[in-house]
Amino acid sequence: MNSNQLKQLLSNMTIEEKIGQMVQLAGEFYKEEDSENTGPMHEMNLSAGKMATIGSVLGISGAQTLIAIQKEHLAKSRLGIPLLFMADVIHGYRTIFPISLGMACAWDPNLIEESAAIAAKEAAVSGLHVTFAPMVDLVRDARWGRVMESTGEDPYLNQLYARAFVKGYQGKNLATDKFSIAACIKHFAGYGAPVAGREYNTVELSERTLRDMYLPAYQAGIDEGSKLVMTAFNSLDGVPATANKRLMRDILRKEFGFEGVLISDWAAVGEMIPHGIAENLKEAGKLAIEAGVDIEMMTGAYLNYLNELIDEGEIAETLIDEAVWRVLTLKNDLGLFEDPYRGANSAEEKAIVFSQEHREKARGMAEESMVLLKNKEQILPLSIHQKVALIVPEGQAKDVLGAWSWKGQQNESVSLYEGLLQHIPKESIVLKTIADAQKEIKADWLADLADVDIIVAVVGESSYMSGEGASRSNIKLPSEQIQLIKKLRTLDKPIVATLFNGRPLDLTDIIQDVDSILEAWFPGTEAGSAVANLLYGKKNPSGKLTMSFPRAVGQVPLYYNQDNTGRPLTALNQEDKFLSRYLDVDNSPLFPFGYGLSYTYFKYSPMEVTLTRSPKSQEDEVRIEVMITNSGKLAGTEVVQLYIRDKVGKVVRPIKELKRFKKVSLEPSESTIVAFNLNKLDFEYTHQDLSVSVESGEFDLMIGPNSEELEINTVYLTFKKSE
Ligand code: GLC
């Protein structure tokens, strides 16, 4: 439909039809027979007549199902406006990829884009038009359950991943590419910083920190063309995001130039009442529309009160027209007026969803996502001649998909036992489980392990312990798992801990007792195959952490790009009590941002730094070169990382900031030169008056395999004063 036709459509709509486009209902409303007197429709005070005006549905899929719902809806819609179908396709639709916090450890935006494109294809042939992804909230607090959906604690990486996800989901042209779906950047804004890591809790951030750390990834996703943004549950600066005009009108719309659809999170409009800034749903609806929320998800504020608010002159109908225009434009961008059934196709659904090709891609991504945290005396990779004890928490053998795997089926996933069988016969495996309730590991239980050569123990979290609503005050392993490791240690056999989890955990209880630790995250459908391929060295681990692992939950929020403070703890003043430190634990993480081992080793030559003064701008540009050599016996992949530090700023500056990285694969003895170029934009930051610029001065340039093992080179850089 062209713009004039769309304008004509809008002008033909009644106010009820306009308001209906601003309402999103769950799939349940379309599963029940039309009943105005019971169930969800009754609760929402929703007549059959109003049902015909609704604009979008969430949380239901399947080509046949959605074709039928769309057909029935169009038959009732006076102007034939098609429904939008939206759902949470977070890290895969039915072929499940590793959780985002795992995929991020691959340090490969192309792989992220590919995973999103596959998820989009499976979702599109299943009838979906929009995914509520990517979640691009920056995170620093491992107590918060939703860190598993994020890509970690660094703004530079999060921006690259936000772009990659949006590109993967939306493809080149939503109107013509029926295997693409619209993306939704969430949760705007700051949801990843709840006080005390407690789900849905208050967020207290200075606008300067919000702008330097949290906003960049949202803006990157919007600049990449995301068609939707979702409001966050939390309050920010005392105003719930869904009612926050500063956030939505000033920053999102004016500053970021976002013209797409702003949708509330589930029931977030109604939650203004418990937040305490609206007395009732009518007032909440007024605040939401004034903040520019175009679609309310699963509340009846717009549905039941917008018309009244207009009649009472409380809001102008132009606000409704703006919102409906954006919703109609989204439907038009998806080509729904020409083809309301778009990509929905049962035959293609059967052929494409969960295809072998997709599973192989998911396995490859899982292999790239895993992080080797420890490998004392190189007990990994395993030999196929070893007899292996595999110990798995009871009932969790296939709990490998993570908390946001919606259509993913655990019983379709590959367990680690099945993965090992791809390398060794079942006679070479002693399979044991540990029960949560297990009081103690008995002698006869241990006796079964007497003749094994090595023990692989699966530890970590169940998917229930991770994701939305899963904040934890204690991020240790479950006590029965700690007890198990202590008992296994008495057998004096090598122990490999394989972690299935959705957050950085406090591993201090087992770190000395195990010989190797492989962080596998929730690896998705191909979990067992991917883990086994790494354990047997078919793939050399190359993942690097994008979120710090603390020594104790008391350190949290913990992140690498922290400020120095006025009394920093350093290697030179460890004895001094009056420093920014704890009495009982070191300040450093157990495993730092950017950390990950390999089965081989990499040598870094001293970095070479070249400064050039741009004749045009009269400002310095920097080139850094370093030679990397694979000095081990196995082929492997290294992620070379470049950090900077602004030694003196107009506000305190982080002790280090990731600015570039390069992933290089090298054969044994092979070398390569890695070069990075930086210019003024890479050094700019937000000042107290919220202006963005950088002053001339001393800067540290740091290069290495993670955020702690760094060669430092200090330079003086000249930048022109900003007008
Ligand atoms: C949830 C989540 C959001 C999700 C939405 C729809 O509460 O906060 O991320 O997209 O509801 O399921």
pLDDT of residue 434: 84
- What parts of the chain have a pLDDT lower than 50? none
Ligand 1 binding pocket mutation candidate from 88, 90, 139 (most atoms within 8 A of CB) = 88
Atom of ligand 1 nearest to the CA of 135: 9
Find out whether 306 and 142 touch, Cβ atoms under 8 Å: no
Find out whether 376 and 497 touch, Cβ atoms under 8 Å: no
Measured in angstroms, how far is the CA atom of residue 265 from the centroid of ligand 1? 6
Is residue 617 assigned to a domain? Answer: yes
Is residue 562 assigned to a domain? Answer: no
Is residue 596 assigned to a domain? Answer: no
The CATH number linked to 445 is: 3.40.50.1700
Atom of ligand 1 nearest to the CA of 149: 9
Measured in angstroms, how far is the CA atom of residue 187 from the centroid of ligand 1? 9
Atom of ligand 1 nearest to the CA of 187: 9
pLDDT of residue 635: 98
* DSSP structure string for 376-417: GGG-PSPPTTS-EEEEEETT-TT--S-TT-TT--GGGSPPHH
Measured in angstroms, how far is the CA atom of residue 132 from the centroid of ligand 1? 7
Tokens 């059959």 sit on residue: 48
DSSP assignment letter at 352: H
pLDDT of residue 443: 82
Total number of domains constituting the chain? 3
Same domain, 414 and 516: yes
Is residue 247 assigned to a domain? Answer: yes
Burial state string for 546-571 with b = 16 or more CB within 10 A and e = fewer than 16: bbbbbbbbebbbbbbbbeeeeeebee
**Catalytically annotated residues:** 265
Residue nearest ligand 1's atom 3 by CA: 265
Measured in angstroms, how far is the CA atom of residue 617 from the centroid of ligand 1? 46
Measured in angstroms, how far is the CA atom of residue 451 from the centroid of ligand 1? 49
Residue nearest ligand 1's atom 11 by CA: 266
Atom of ligand 1 nearest to the CA of 186: 9
What does the angle CA 227 – CA 30 – CA 73 come to, to the nearest 5 degrees?
70
- Of 711, 719, 645, nearest to 680 (Cα)? 719
Residue nearest ligand 1's atom 7 by CA: 266
Same domain, 341 and 373: no
**What are the angstrom distances between the C-alpha of 487 and each of 431, 453, 492?**
17, 16, 10
Q: What are 325's two structure tokens?
A: 């225009």
Residue nearest ligand 1's atom 6 by CA: 266
Residue nearest ligand 1's atom 1 by CA: 266
Residue nearest ligand 1's atom 12 by CA: 88
Answer whether the bond into residue 134 is a cis peptide, omega within 30°.
Answer: yes
Q: Which of 521, 539, 555 is the last residue of a domain?
A: 555
Q: What are 55's two structure tokens?
A: 């604009």
Same domain, 492 and 607: no
CA separation for the pair 710, 423 (Å, rounded): 38
The CATH number linked to 639 is: 2.60.40.10
* DSSP structure string for 60-103: ---HHHHHHHHHHHHHH-TT-PPPEEEE--SS-SSSPPPPHHHH
H/E segment holding residue 348: helix 346-352
Same domain, 533 and 644: no
Measured in angstroms, how far is the CA atom of residue 624 from the centroid of ligand 1? 43
Residues in the chain: 723
Atom of ligand 1 nearest to the CA of 266: 11
Residues 6+ apart with CB under 8 A from 444: none
Tokens 């949801």 sit on residue: 191
Is residue 39 assigned to a domain? Answer: no
**What is the domain extent for residue 476?**
363-555
Q: Can you give the three-state secondary structure of 199-213, one letter per residue? A: CCCCECCCHHHHHHH
Atom of ligand 1 nearest to the CA of 133: 10
Measured in angstroms, how far is the CA atom of residue 124 from the centroid of ligand 1? 19
The CATH number linked to 290 is: 3.20.20.300
Same domain, 315 and 179: yes
pLDDT of residue 395: 86
CA separation for the pair 623, 679 (Å, rounded): 9
Same domain, 126 and 273: yes
- Of 3, 38, 44, nearest to 20 (Cα)? 44
Q: Which residue ranges have their beta carbon within 6 Å of ligand 1?
A: 58, 88, 132, 186, 265-266, 468
Same domain, 414 and 375: yes
Measured in angstroms, how far is the CA atom of residue 25 from the centroid of ligand 1? 13
Find out whether 40 and 324 touch, Cβ atoms under 8 Å: no
Same domain, 311 and 267: yes
Answer whether the bond into residue 40 is a cis peptide, omega within 30°.
Answer: no
pLDDT of residue 436: 65
Same domain, 261 and 406: no
**What are the angstrom distances between the C-alpha of 682 and each of 622, 678, 685?**
10, 6, 9
Q: Which of 349, 382, 411 is the last residue of a domain?
A: 349
Find out whether 90 and 130 touch, Cβ atoms under 8 Å: no
Measured in angstroms, how far is the CA atom of residue 159 from the centroid of ligand 1? 21
Per-residue model confidence as pLDDT tens digits over 598-617: 999 999 999 999 999 988 88
CA separation for the pair 578, 567 (Å, rounded): 8
Q: Which of 349, 376, 399 is the last residue of a domain?
A: 349
pLDDT of residue 150: 98
Tokens 């895993």 sit on residue: 370
Measured in angstroms, how far is the CA atom of residue 633 from the centroid of ligand 1? 47
Is residue 590 assigned to a domain? Answer: no
Residue nearest ligand 1's atom 8 by CA: 265
In this structure, how many other beta carbons lie within 10 angstroms of the beta carbon of residue 196? 13
Q: What is the C-alpha end-to-end distance of the chain, expressed in Å?
A: 46
Q: What are 83's two structure tokens?
A: 């429904």
Same domain, 607 and 543: no
Ligand 1 binding pocket mutation candidate from 136, 228, 265 (most atoms within 8 A of CB) = 265
Q: Where are the alpha helices (DSSP H) in 474-631?
A: 479-489, 527-535
Same domain, 301 and 446: no
Tokens 């009160």 sit on residue: 305
Find out whether 340 and 57 touch, Cβ atoms under 8 Å: no
Is residue 338 assigned to a domain? Answer: yes
pLDDT of residue 441: 77
CA separation for the pair 408, 362 (Å, rounded): 12
pLDDT of residue 42: 73
Same domain, 344 and 368: no
Helix (H, G, I), strand (E, B) or coil at 677: strand
Is residue 155 assigned to a domain? Answer: yes
Per-residue model confidence as pLDDT tens digits over 93-137: 999 999 999 999 999 999 999 999 999 999 999 999 999 999 999
Atom of ligand 1 nearest to the CA of 233: 8
